[in-house]
Structure 1
Amino acid sequence: MTTPATPPPPPYPAPASVPAGEPVSAVPVRPPGLGDAVAAEWTKIRSVRSTMWTLGVMVLLLLGVGLLTAVTLRVAESDLGGEPVLSLGFFGVLLGSICVITLGVLTMASEYSTGLIRTTLAACPGRGRVLIAKSIVFFLLSFTVTTVTAGVVGVLQTAILDAESPSGGEWLRVTVGVGLYIALLGLLSLALGTIVRHSAGAITIMIAVVLLPLVMAMFMFTPTLTSVRQALFEYSIPSQLAALYDTAMTLPGPSGWESVAIIAGVTAVALCGAFVSLDRRDV
């Protein structure tokens, strides 16, 4: 008489908490971590058209405005009037910052308008983890694109005008410094999009933050408002960005890397507010 063969044990024993007879997945399950959230956010940001359009337009603005200015000066045989050659990239970066602001707002606010935020938070219930993952992915992407493009523009401008090679400190400010400033400005927009939860409204507010202080200062003619007018000029975003380029627009206020420290502090406060808003409000 043949003894029946003993069936092999299952590859993964059932947990003690699972009742007998319940089906058990053969694939081990683990809670999602920050790395999983970062991978998911990277997949989302590189899959949507808004990323390609906003960053693509920003690159075109940086290259187009910077090179057009250099070629115009070369054709007209004009000198820079004492200005450093790298300062020619300032206007392209100022215009391109609007694209980064737009992408920063859309990175979060668009999920509220489409309802995708419910799916995101269902897959990753840790709301703080979602905000951190979005911030990491957006910051690294915008910093890399801005830094590389600003460096390419600076090299081409120097070659076109056959100018004296800038110092290492100047190159560091207009590449890494400008990249950090624009990426932090985009993070500020992401935080505002989290708080406002409306794409058009948050973009409008951010454009006002960039341009309104200068516009207001231009109309403050009375002597009693002189100190306010000077502060608006010195601490406006265009003036702080110009300080990194060391242009003639630089006023006796924050200079160089101080501008990056200021925008980093403001962005940190805004991200704390975004975390509180995301954690305490319904989606």
Structure 2
Amino acid sequence: MSTPQTPMPPTPQPAWQAGAPSAPSVLPGYTSPIPVVRTHLGHALASEWTKIKSVRSTMWTLGVFVVLVVGVGLLVGGVVAHSSADMSGDDNVLTLGFIGVLLGSICIITLGVLTTASEYGTGMIRTTMTACPSRGRVLVAKALVFFLLSFVITLVCTALVAVAQTAMLDGSGARRPTGGEWFKATVGVSFYLALLGLVSLLIGSVLRHSAGGITIMIGVVLAPLVIALFMFTRSLESVRNALFEYSIPNQLGVFYSSSLSDSGPAGWDPLWIILGVTAAVGAGAWALLRERDV
């Protein structure tokens, strides 16, 4: 014979499930201990600064940058100071810092691309956009933090190298640089490199791929000069001259009064050129960021 089953008593339901319109969103009299504030650009800047200073890529790339700019600059200055041939009276001592800055620009380019593209590779960009749905604000915050960091680091390194080289070559026959030459070889070069790195950051945002962005930017820096070196025919002379004049190494050399050609950009022209390129790439990156999915 089967044992009769005792029916289970019905589970009492909350009032809002038994027919009430909806559940209360908060408890009566409850106050959240977390202050509710309206977010602004300052919060995005603080977030981006925390991210850029806490990742290893920043420490490695900027560390190598300092070694190249300062180390190569001091090495070149020491070799010239101890050579038998004195510098002529027309030579600018600050020109010796050009080699280290050109090599260090690769580090700034690399860090610029990684600042944006690496977040897409790791998926961190989803968290960033969830915390700050304003995509334009995120891009502006990244750009400002990176630009200021790159500018300050470059300015400190170039100023240190300029002072050291001037001291090492004092009495070698080279003329003392003027105030304008000092300003261009330190502040001018720092602005140019920071803007070049900013273009790299924007390219990283467009491509969303670290290796691809770094490859393209290194090609932009080196390819025009390398291609121009192998253009021997007279029919390509105008193209060769244009590649020489507007290549990144030549524009950097303008700040040191050591341009590779007698024509082309001069004075502060390279800075205006890179500003225009940055504005154009920035507009494209902004438009793509607003239209594409994360």
Query: What is the alpha-carbon distance in structure 1 between the residues aligned to residue 264 and residue 79 of structure 2?
Result: 31
Q: Which residue of 1 aligns with 2:167?
A: 159
Mapped contact 1:66–1:153 kept (Cα < 8 A)? yes
Percent identity, please.
59
Q: Which amino acid aligns with 2:247?
A: S
Q: Which residue of 2 aligns with 1:35?
A: 42
Q: TM-score, normalised by structure 2?
A: 0.87
Match runs of 1:80-91 below 5 Å: 80-81=87-88, 82-91=90-99
Q: Can you list the C-alpha shifts for 1:163-215, whole angstroms capped at 9, x where unaligned?
A: 54311100100110000000000000000000010000100000000011011
Q: Which amino acid aligns with 1:55?
A: L
Q: Which residue of 2 aligns with 1:108?
A: 116
Match runs of 1:122-141 below 5 Å: 122-141=130-149
Q: Can you list the C-alpha shifts for 1:12-43, whole angstroms capped at 9, x where unaligned?
A: xxxxxx77748442443123110000011001
Query: What is the alpha-carbon distance in structure 1 between the residues aligned to residue 156 and residue 176 of structure 2?
Result: 18
Judging by fraction of residues, say which structure has more helix: 1
Query: What is the alpha-carbon distance in structure 2 between the residues aligned to residue 262 and residue 150 of structure 1?
Result: 22
Q: Which residue of 1 aligns with 2:266?
A: 255
SS in 1 for 2:140: helix
My pick for the range that moved more, 217-226 or 82-91, is 217-226
Mapped contact 2:244–2:260 kept (Cα < 8 A)? no
Mapped contact 1:34–1:133 kept (Cα < 8 A)? yes
Mapped contact 1:45–1:107 kept (Cα < 8 A)? yes
Q: Which residue of 2 aligns with 1:272?
A: 283
Q: Which residue of 2 aligns with 1:92?
A: 100
Per-residue deviation, 1:75: 1.4
Query: What is the alpha-carbon distance in structure 1 between the residues aligned to residue 284 and residue 169 of structure 2?
Result: 46
Q: Are 1:74 and 2:81 an aligned pair?
A: yes
Q: Which residue of 2 aligns with 1:214?
A: 225
Per-residue deviation, 1:56: 0.9
Q: Which residue of 2 aligns with 1:174?
A: 185
Task: Assess, with a 3 A threshold, how the Cα gap between structure 1 residues 101 and 209 changes in structure 2: closer, same or farther.
Answer: same
Query: What is the alpha-carbon distance in structure 2 between the residues aligned to residue 270 and residue 62 of structure 1?
Result: 27
My pick for the range that moved more, 158-167 or 64-73, is 158-167
Q: Which residue of 2 aligns with 1:9?
A: none
My pick for the range that moved more, 157-166 or 125-134, is 157-166
Query: What is the alpha-carbon distance in structure 2 between the residues aligned to residue 200 and residue 251 of structure 1?
Result: 36
Mapped contact 1:239–1:251 kept (Cα < 8 A)? no
Query: What is the alpha-carbon distance in structure 2 between the residues aligned to residue 42 and residue 234 of structure 1?
Result: 36
- How many residues are matched? 267
Query: What is the alpha-carbon distance in structure 1 between the residues aligned to residue 29 and residue 249 of structure 2?
Result: 64
Q: TM-score, normalised by structure 1?
A: 0.90
Mapped contact 1:106–1:199 kept (Cα < 8 A)? yes
Mapped contact 1:173–1:245 kept (Cα < 8 A)? yes
- Among 251, 263, 276, the alignment partner of 1:240 is 251
Mapped contact 2:143–2:198 kept (Cα < 8 A)? yes
SS in 2 for 1:76: coil
Query: What is the alpha-carbon distance in structure 1 between the residues aligned to residue 240 and residue 231 of structure 2?
Result: 6
Q: Are 1:191 and 2:202 an aligned pair?
A: yes
